[in-house]
Amino acid sequence: MPPRRIDPIGDESDSDVSIFDDFDESGRGKGKGKGKGIDRNKKDKGKGKAKEQPYAWEASYTRSWDTVQEDEAGSLQGAVADLIARGRRRRLLAPAAAIRRTIIRHLILILDLSSAMMDRDMRPTRFDLMLQYAREFVTEWFDQNPLGQIGVVGMRGGLGERVGEMTGNPQDVLKAISERHKLEPSGEPSLQNAIDMARASMSHLPTHSSREILVVFGSLTTCDPGNIHDTLAECVKDRIRVSVVALAAEMKICREFCDKTGGTFGVALNEGHFKDLLFELIPPPAQRAFARASSGAPANPAADLMLMGFPTRLPETSAAGLCACHSQLRSAGFLCPRCGAKVCDVPTDCDICGLMIVSAPHLARSYHHLFPVKPFQPVMSLEGTQNPSVGCHACAAPFKEQTAGAAGAADGVSPLGRYRCAECHNDFCTECDVFVHDVVHCCPGCGK
């Protein structure tokens, strides 16, 4: 972390203008990209408040509602439309061709719990922010990867610490990282110990599942018992993909881990960017034929078939029995279709016979990653369209009338608010476009 520039502010008799200039500069010096969209009007309104807290470090707290910009009429519609448009552009840039993706994912989340996490350069502290984002990350991750499993490892006091066992149940993971008092940061982190621990807990996994490690690293040092490059070599050999989100600065060893294992590396510039970096890791990774070839394993094997079992669900009213996973007496649960063992949750691997047990809805929800809905094309004008539809094909909300010289054509936003499916040529409104691509994953017009 670069040393914070603190602008000495003189006595209170300074004019308002100079105080605000100081604020602006200290903001820029810290590279806070987000949250600087505060318009002049707002600042003027906040003058009274700013006088009460004239110090730069007090003013650096950006309230999330200040970053939203209102238009002249005081409406937020412009800001919301801008957000939606940005998401749409990103989708249009995404590759349209089908790529092989791993939908059965295993991820170990390594959280830095060293004393460097008490730094307040991210509000309220790096530690609190990390826990908050980790919870959001886990929820979203399980939503998009219902067949995945997450384990959590902490780094503190020079050791790796198992915070949460690898599980497919989001509630268990959330519980593990919500007990803040058990995770109080202290001491030095040890990257090698934590990665070794994560690697050991994924060593038994079958080849068709992905092995991923995501490290949130706030420290600039690591305190390791041996040569960390040996650990790196082991990760490459085991095909473990390591991604690092650093909160302070780039460290060569972290960058090397990501580059050699095919993960991504990023340094968070501010709170918003931190979240973006985390959430970029939620969609399933594309399978890498190249990396497999270099590690000596067969290059891009023909689609290998895998065994999956669909369990029988036992109702609450059934006779109680011991489960194979926790050895507890329970009524409800699932029966493994191969060996008849009882397990508490799906998806999981049967503890007795090793069969992967999934439910059909889980499988169906993973399907859309392989065949995403093609992005709808923004309709720029209705010229050449015969009998344009009056309302959205999905929700029947009426479209805007065509107005001459409407703006906003450049960035993939339709001035008419119409987005057309390339397959069925039906028009959809902005809201339905987003809903179809983010939630439904299936075009209501053509079912593709």
- Only one of the segments 55-63, 129-137, 150-158, 389-397 lies at the binding site for Zn ion (rule: CB under 5 A); that segment is 389-397
Of 413, 412, 419, 414, residue with least CA distance to 445: 419
d(CA 192, CA 226): 8
Q: By CB under 5 A, is residue 350 in contact with Zn ion?
A: yes
Q: Which is nearer to Zn ion, 187 or 415 (CB)?
A: 415
Of 375, 313, 367, 319, residue with least CA distance to 344: 313
Q: Which of 214, 432, 434, 436 binds Zn ion (CB under 5 A)?
A: 432
Please count the residues of this chain forming the interface with Zn ion, following the rule CB under 5 A: 23
d(CA 318, CA 206): 33
Q: By CB under 5 A, is residue 446 in contact with Zn ion?
A: yes
Angle between helix 170-178 and helix 126-144 axes, rounded to 10 deg: 180
Strand order in the sheet with 419-420: 377-378, 419-420, 427-428
Q: Which of 429, 434, 436, 437 binds Zn ion (CB under 5 A)?
A: 429
Q: Which of 76, 286, 289, 395 binds Zn ion (CB under 5 A)?
A: 395
Q: Which is nearer to Zn ion, 195 or 323 (CB)?
A: 323
Q: Which is nearer to Zn ion, 164 or 189 (CB)?
A: 164
Q: How far is the CB of 346 from Zn ion (least distance, A)?
A: 12
Cβ 109 vs Cβ 392: under 8 Å? no
Per-residue x/- marks for Zn ion, 308-347, CB under 5 A? Answer: ---------------x-xx---------x-xx-x--x---
Cross-strand pairs, 319: none
Q: Which is nearer to Zn ion, 125 or 318 (CB)?
A: 318
Angle between helix 191-202 and helix 228-237 axes, rounded to 10 deg: 20
Q: Which is nearer to Zn ion, 206 or 298 (CB)?
A: 206
Q: Which is nearer to Zn ion, 6 or 396 (CB)?
A: 396
Tokens of 319: 């006779």
Q: Which of 108, 242, 246, 392 binds Zn ion (CB under 5 A)?
A: 392
Cβ 236 vs Cβ 251: under 8 Å? no
Q: Which is nearer to Zn ion, 278 or 350 (CB)?
A: 350
Q: How far is the CB of 331 from Zn ion (least distance, A)?
A: 12
Q: By CB under 5 A, is residue 172 in contact with Zn ion?
A: no
Q: How far is the CB of 15 from Zn ion (least distance, A)?
A: 52
Q: How far is the CB of 298 from Zn ion (least distance, A)?
A: 28
Q: By CB under 5 A, is residue 84 in contact with Zn ion?
A: no
Residues 201-230 that bind Zn ion (CB under 5 A): none
Q: By CB under 5 A, is residue 443 in contact with Zn ion?
A: yes
Q: How far is the CB of 326 from Zn ion (least distance, A)?
A: 3
d(CA 90, CA 110): 28
Alpha-carbon separation of residue 105 from 114, 147, 151, 198, 377 (angstroms) = 28, 7, 11, 14, 32
**Which element (helix H / strand E) includes 106?**
strand 105-112
User: Position 289: which residue type?
Assistant: A
Q: Which is nearer to Zn ion, 271 or 427 (CB)?
A: 427
Q: How far is the CB of 347 from Zn ion (least distance, A)?
A: 13
Cβ 335 vs Cβ 311: under 8 Å? yes
Q: By CB under 5 A, is residue 394 in contact with Zn ion?
A: yes
- Only one of the segments 57-65, 126-134, 221-229, 384-392 lies at the binding site for Zn ion (rule: CB under 5 A); that segment is 384-392
**Which element (helix H / strand E) includes 154?**
strand 149-156
Q: By CB under 5 A, is residue 423 in contact with Zn ion?
A: yes
Q: By CB under 5 A, is residue 356 in contact with Zn ion?
A: no
Burial 42-78 (b: 16+ CB within 10 A, else e): eeeeeeeeeeeebebeebbebeeebeeeeeeeeeeee
User: Position 135: which residue type?
Assistant: R
- Only one of the segments 96-104, 174-182, 227-235, 437-445 lies at the binding site for Zn ion (rule: CB under 5 A); that segment is 437-445
d(CA 261, CA 266): 15
Q: Which of 253, 282, 352, 380 binds Zn ion (CB under 5 A)?
A: 352
Tokens of 221: 């040092």
Distance of CA 422 to the CA centre of its chain: 29
At residue 66, the 3 state secondary structure works out as: helix
Q: Which residues sit at the interface with Zn ion, rule CB under 5 A?
A: 323, 325-326, 336, 338-339, 341, 344, 350, 352-353, 355, 392, 394-395, 421, 423-424, 429, 432, 443, 445-446
